[in-house]
């Protein structure tokens, strides 16, 4: 992967950035995404934000090598702290982290989101917490994608301002992904079912306690819910 040729995952993230956007990419270890967005003339300006010095320096080098310092500002700070109101950022991308970390980044400086009209979030795991955060913070799903690359399955959630309500199934599995039920989607949830079954078996072998009973009933609930959705496909 490089800034000319992104991974399939980041290319899909890029495809949701509106033309002319001012983008902040949070957790931008080599700044490939911002460089791609500027080189393809999708974004007008970009900020590459990193909290760790090593990846920040890699991002600075990349942007310098591509001669894009006038369009991309590489900044070292935690999450949305890299954004100032005067930057007029309207689109934020956060990719390659867990759902809970993405939510904690969004929650830490909500004032920055005032001028933002699109969030493109790619959680590696636990997308559900992002959908829950979106409902509580007046963001609505515009689209969702599930894709497989190098044997890993990724979800991408695209949010715009608006009210949304989701069922328990939609929160867990994704409103649009659930409708589409793609092959990758079935594969992801079959894998999850297998994991949950394994945990359940190990819980059956453990000494019973209130905590274990609670975990068991949570897992049984999730297994039932997912089996109902993927139904016949789960064979």
Q: Which of 59, 114, 120, 50 is nearest to 86 (CA)?
A: 114
Binding characters for ligand SAM, 175-214, by CB under 6 A (x = yes): ----------------------------------------
Q: How far is CA 35 from the centre of its chain?
A: 19
The CA-based angle 18-22-27, given to 5 degrees, is: 100
Of 8 and 221, nearer to ligand SAM (C-beta) is 8
Residue among 11, 29, 148, 169 that touches ligand SAM (CB under 6 A): 29
Of 52 and 214, nearer to ligand SAM (C-beta) is 52
Q: Torsions phi, psi of 174, nearest 5? A: 100, 130
Of 14 and 166, nearer to ligand SAM (C-beta) is 14
Q: Torsions phi, psi of 5, nearest 5? A: -125, 95
Alpha-carbon span 69 to 60, nearest angstrom: 8
Alpha-carbon span 163 to 143, nearest angstrom: 14
Residue among 14, 38, 60, 97 that touches ligand SAM (CB under 6 A): 97
Of 52 and 199, nearer to ligand SAM (C-beta) is 52
Binding characters for ligand SAM, 30-69, by CB under 6 A (x = yes): -------------------xxxx--x--------------
Residue among 96, 99, 123, 174 that touches ligand SAM (CB under 6 A): 96
Alpha-carbon span 76 to 104, nearest angstrom: 18
- Residues 108 to 147 in contact with ligand SAM, rule: CB under 6 A: none
Of 49 and 99, nearer to ligand SAM (C-beta) is 49
Residue among 27, 34, 99, 123 that touches ligand SAM (CB under 6 A): 27
Encoded tokens for 60: 């600075």
Phi-psi region of 120 (alpha: psi -120 to 50; beta: other; left: phi over 0): beta
Q: Where are the alpha helices (DSSP H) in 44-163?
A: 53-65, 99-108, 127-136
Beta bridge partners of 20: none
Residue among 46, 48, 62, 79 that touches ligand SAM (CB under 6 A): 79
Residues in touch with ligand SAM (CB under 6 A): 10, 26-29, 49-52, 55, 78-79, 95-97, 101, 105
């Amino acid at each position: 992967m490089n800034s000319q040729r992104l991974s399939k995952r980041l290319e899909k993230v890029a495809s949701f950035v509106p033309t002319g956007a001012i983008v902040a990419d949070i957790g931008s270890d080599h700044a490939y995404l911002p460089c791609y967005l500027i080189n393809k003339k999708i974004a007008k300006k970009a900020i590459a934000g990193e909290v760790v010095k090593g990846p920040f320096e890699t991002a600075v080098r990349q942007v310098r090598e591509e001669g894009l310092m006038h369009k991309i500002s590489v900044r070292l700070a935690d999450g949305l702290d890299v954004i100032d109101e005067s930057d007029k950022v309207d689109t934020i991308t956060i990719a390659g982290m867990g759902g809970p970390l993405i939510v904690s980044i969004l929650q830490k400086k909500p004032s920055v989101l005032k001028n933002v009209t699109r969030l493109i979030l790619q959680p590696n795991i636990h997308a559900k917490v992002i959908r829950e955060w979106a409902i509580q913070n007046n963001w609505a799903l515009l689209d969702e994608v599930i894709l497989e690359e190098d044997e890993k399955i990724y979800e991408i959630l695209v949010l715009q301002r608006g009210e949304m309500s989701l069922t328990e199934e939609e929160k867990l599995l994704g409103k649009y992904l659930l409708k589409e039920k793609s092959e990758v989607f079935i594969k992801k949830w079959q894998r999850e079912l297998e994991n949950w079954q394994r945990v359940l078996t190990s819980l059956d072998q453990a000494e019973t306690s209130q905590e274990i009973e609670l975990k068991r009933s949570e897992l049984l609930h999730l297994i039932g819910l997912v089996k109902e959705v993927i139904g016949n496909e789960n064979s």
